[in-house]
Amino acid sequence: MVFIVLRTVNAVTIVILSRGKCGLSKGITRYLVAMVAADQLVVLFDLVLSKITMPMKVFFWSHRVPVCNIHTVVFYAATDCSVWFTVTFTFDRFVTICLQKLKRKYGTGRAAALVLWTVTVLTCVMNIFWYFMLDGTYSMSFTSLLCLSGRGFFSLSQEATFELIHYFLTPIFPFVLILLLNSLTIRHVLLASRVRRRLRGSGDGETPADPKMKDRRQSLLLLLVMSGNFILLWVLLTVYSVWDSLIDYLHVIPPNSLRELGYMLQILSCCTNTALYVVIQARFRLQLKETVKSPFCLMAKFTRPCQDSINPQ
C-alpha cells in the first residue's frame, strides 16, 4: 500500500512538472523532474526488490545470474543520483540568484540536461565496485548492504576504504556543498535586499511592488525547503553508516533502532517533494487540482450524453 501511494504521488509530480505550466524555467523543471524520477527508482529498488526478494532469499535462477550484485549496484546508483541531483539543483539556484553573468549560459535547459546526464553516468560508474565486492547472496537482515560481502576481489582494508569513500561522497560531501551554497545564496539575497531598499527609498522594509525581490524570495524559499528536507531526513542514516564503518576503531556497536529509523527517513525523503511543492508553489497546487479533477471531468463528458439520451427533453 505504501509503495502504491509513493509511486502514484511521484508519478503525478513528474507529469505536472513535465507539462511546464508551473511558472518554472526549463532548467529548474528538469532538475526537479530528475530528482523525483531518482526518488521513484530508490523507492522501487528498496521497497520492492530489497524488502520482497530478501525475505524470499532469491529468485530460482539467481545462482547463475548475480541478481543481488546487480540489484545493489542499481540501488546505490539511484540513491547517489537522488542525492547529487539535489546538489545540482542547489548549485543551479545559487548561479541563478547570485551569478547573473553565468546564469545565461548555465541556467538553460540544455545545460541542465548535460549536468544531469553527467552526474548519472559518473554515479553508475562509481557504484560498479559494489558488483565485485559482494558474493551474490542476499542478506536475510535489513542491513545497509543488500548482499553479503566477501567475494574476494578486494582485501578487507580496500573494501573498508571504498565504503568510507562512498559514504563521504554520498551524502557527507553533498551536505557540506549544500550548506555552503545555501549560506552564500542567503548572504547574497540579504545584501541585495538592503541595496534595493535603499535605492527604492524604503528603510522600513521592501515594498510589495518589487517583483524581482519577490521572485528571489520564492526561489530562495524553494531552495531552502528542498535542501533542508534532504539534510534532515538523511542525517540519521549518514550517522549510522559512518558509525558502522568505523566500528573497529570506536569499539561501540550502533543501535539497530538508529539504523531502522534512518532507513525509514531516507525512504520518506523520496515522497516529501510533492508535499513541499504543494506548500510552496501556487501554480503547482493549481495544476495538481486540475490533474485530480481531469478523470472525473472525462467521466462526466461520457455520462452526460447517455443521460441526455435516456431522459430527452
Backbone φ, ψ for residue 24 (5° rounding): -105, 155
Which residues have a Cβ under 8 Å from the Cβ of 17 and sit 6 or more positions away? 24, 29, 32, 33, 36, 284
The answer to whether residues 19 and 102 touch, using CB atoms and an 8 Å cutoff, is no
Question: For 14-18, 133-137, 194-198, 259-263, which range has the lowest pLDDT when averaged over its residues?
Answer: 133-137
Grid cell in block for residue 311? 431522459
Mean pLDDT of 287-305: 72
The CATH T-level fold of domain 2-295 is: Rhopdopsin 7-helix transmembrane proteins (1.20.1070)
Residue of 246, 251, 72, 255 whose CA lies nearest to 149: 72
Residue of 25, 43, 82 whose CA lies nearest to 264: 43
Backbone φ, ψ for residue 230 (5° rounding): -65, -45
State yes or no: pLDDT of 175 exceeds 80.
yes
The answer to whether residues 269 and 40 touch, using CB atoms and an 8 Å cutoff, is no
Which pLDDT tens digit goes with each residue over 130-168?
888 877 666 655 444 456 666 556 666 777 778 778 888
Q: Residue-wise over 170-186: b if at least 16 C-beta within 10 A, else e?
A: bbeebbebbeebbeebe
Residue 259 is predicted with a pLDDT of 80
Separation of alpha carbons 110 and 122, rounded Å: 18
Beta bridge partners of 147: 138
Which pLDDT tens digit goes with each residue over 231-263?
888 888 888 877 777 776 767 777 878 888 888
Question: What DSSP state is assigned to residue 137?
Answer: E
Helix (H, G, I), strand (E, B) or coil at 148: strand
Grid cell in block for residue 169? 561522497
State yes or no: pLDDT of 60 exceeds 50.
no
| The model's pTM | 0.80
Mean pLDDT of 179-198: 83
Residue 68 is predicted with a pLDDT of 75
Residue 143 is predicted with a pLDDT of 47
Residue 85 is predicted with a pLDDT of 92
Mean pLDDT of 65-86: 84
Question: For 79-88, 165-174, 293-302, which range has the lowest pLDDT when averaged over its residues?
Answer: 293-302
Helix (H, G, I), strand (E, B) or coil at 90: helix
State yes or no: pLDDT of 189 exceeds 90.
no
Q: How far is CA 172 from CA 30, 135, 219, in A?
A: 24, 27, 25
Separation of alpha carbons 295 and 22, rounded Å: 20
Mean pLDDT taken over the chain: 76
Backbone φ, ψ for residue 209 (5° rounding): -90, 25
N- to C-terminal Cα separation, the chain: 46
Grid cell in block for residue 179? 550548506
* Burial (CB count within 10 angstroms: exposed 0-12, middle 13-18, buried 19+), residue 223: buried
